[in-house]
């Protein structure tokens, strides 16, 4: 009779659901600890279905989705967490990160802002919010938050590097260089700093310094961006063959690298014009590069204009 009373008593059903959710959560913990991500996710889905308010299950499920690259589902879990525990800054921070990775920048900005309101000293939240504002084209807010990130965590190489990129983006080359130098003081052998600082030096027309720095980066790890920027520096020095060689290397590493095709074409046409427009292979190679660029992305009015001008010899 007691069993019948319990089965029909208010709250017994929800109690069994909570017990079932707890059991599935423990199964998920065991599966995760033993490297069985698929089983862990399945158990967590069952746990959150049985008890939608089970915070640890939502948190682990969000983290597993994030780790497996399913940012959309991870975003849904972190959104649920932010609603279940609205005063926990980390939930809003993780939600913002997923939204940022998904390209939902305005929503990411809102989530990071909420995280900062809850935890004003979060250097990571300030840095990521700064990057979101940079992507949105708001340089003032980007720099404001990136400076705050460096103030809260002066040892963060990423924060100093990103601050440099933000200053570069608004053409404040001197302050950008100061930020890159600070990053190098913290670690004198950072690939991303070499590449960004090299680009800054190209803009300042300090080409020999840029080439030296970019070669250090290339020696550490070859990649399309470092090769393209090396090409930019060599092109500004007027070393056409060497520049084209770097652009071609960048394109071999990334056949869809539109900026490398365009930069190579610009370099070839500049050399063609310097040579009194007598070296037809230069023009033909430039035209071929622009055609490939337009085939990769049609919406490039300036490239289309160049192609129209130079498709036939003047």
- Of the pLDDT bands very low, low, confident and very high (cuts 50, 70, 90), residue 3 is very low
- Of the pLDDT bands very low, low, confident and very high (cuts 50, 70, 90), residue 12 is low
Domain ranges for the chain, please list them.
Answer: 222-314
**pTM for this prediction:** 0.88
Residue 238 Cα to chain centre, angstroms? 33
pLDDT given at position 74: 98
Per-residue pLDDT tens digits for 24-36:
999 999 999 999 9
- 215 or 14, which is more confident: 215
Pick the CATH number of 222-314 from 3.30.70.1170, 3.30.300.130, 1.25.40.10, 1.10.287.130: 1.25.40.10
pLDDT given at position 11: 55
Q: Residue 7: pLDDT above 70?
A: no
Residue 167 Cα to chain centre, angstroms? 17
Per-residue pLDDT tens digits for 87-103:
999 999 999 999 999 99
Per-residue pLDDT tens digits for 62-118:
999 999 999 999 999 999 999 999 999 999 999 999 999 999 999 999 999 999 999
CB-based contact 66:37 (threshold 8 Å): no
**Portion of the chain with pLDDT greater than 90, in percent:** 91
Given CA atoms 293, 298, 299, 304 in this order, what sign does their dihedral have? positive
Per-residue pLDDT tens digits for 152-203:
999 999 999 999 999 999 999 999 999 999 999 999 999 999 999 999 999 9
- Residues in the chain, how many? 314
Neighbours of 256 (CB within 10 A): 12
Given CA atoms 15, 20, 25, 30 in this order, what sign does their dihedral have? positive
2 contacts: CB under 8 Å, gap ≥ 6:
none
Per-residue pLDDT tens digits for 255-296:
999 999 999 999 999 999 999 888 999 999 999 999 999 999
**DSSP 8-state assignment for residue 11:** T
| Range with lowest mean pLDDT among 227-231, 267-271, 308-312 | 308-312
pLDDT given at position 4: 40
Kindly report the average pLDDT of the chain as a whole number: 94
Long-range Cβ contact pairs of 79-88 (< 8 A, separation 24 or more): 80/52, 81/55, 82/111, 82/114, 84/53, 84/55, 84/58, 85/55, 87/118, 88/118
Structure tokens at 166: 């933000």
Burial of 44 (0-12, 13-18, 19+ CB in 10 A): buried
């Amino acid at each position: 009779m007691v069993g019948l009373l319990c089965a029909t008593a208010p709250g017994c059903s929800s109690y069994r659901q909570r017990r079932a959710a707890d059991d599935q959560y423990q199964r998920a913990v065991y599966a995760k600890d033993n490297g069985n991500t698929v089983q862990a996710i399945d158990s967590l889905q069952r746990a959150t279905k049985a008890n939608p308010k089970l915070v640890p299950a939502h948190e682990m499920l969000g983290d597993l989705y994030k780790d497996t690259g399913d940012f959309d589902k991870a975003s849904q879990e972190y959104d649920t967490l932010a609603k279940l525990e609205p005063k926990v800054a980390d939930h809003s921070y993780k939600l913002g990160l997923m939204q940022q990775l998904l390209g939902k920048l305005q929503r990411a900005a809102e989530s990071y802002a909420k995280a900062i309101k809850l935890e004003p000293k979060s250097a990571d939240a300030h840095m990521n919010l700064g990057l979101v504002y940079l992507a949105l084209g708001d340089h003032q807010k980007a720099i404001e938050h990136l400076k705050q990130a460096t103030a809260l965590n002066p040892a963060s190489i990423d924060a100093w590097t990103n601050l440099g990129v933000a200053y570069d983006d608004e053409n404040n080359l001197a302050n950008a260089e100061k930020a890159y130098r600070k990053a190098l003081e913290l670690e004198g052998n950072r690939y991303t700093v070499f590449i960004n600082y090299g680009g800054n030096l190209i803009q300042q027309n300090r080409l020999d310094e840029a080439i030296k720095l970019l070669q250090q980066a290339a020696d550490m790890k070859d990649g399309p961006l470092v090769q393209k920027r090396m090409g930019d520096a060599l092109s500004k020095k007027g070393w056409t063959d060497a520049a084209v060689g770097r652009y071609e290397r960048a394109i071999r590493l990334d056949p869809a690298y539109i900026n490398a095709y365009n930069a190579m074409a610009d370099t070839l046409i500049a050399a063609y014009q310097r040579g009194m427009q007598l070296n037809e292979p230069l023009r033909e190679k430039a035209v071929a590069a622009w055609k490939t660029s337009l085939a990769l992305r049609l919406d490039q009015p300036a490239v289309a204009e160049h192609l129209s001008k130079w498709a036939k010899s003047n």
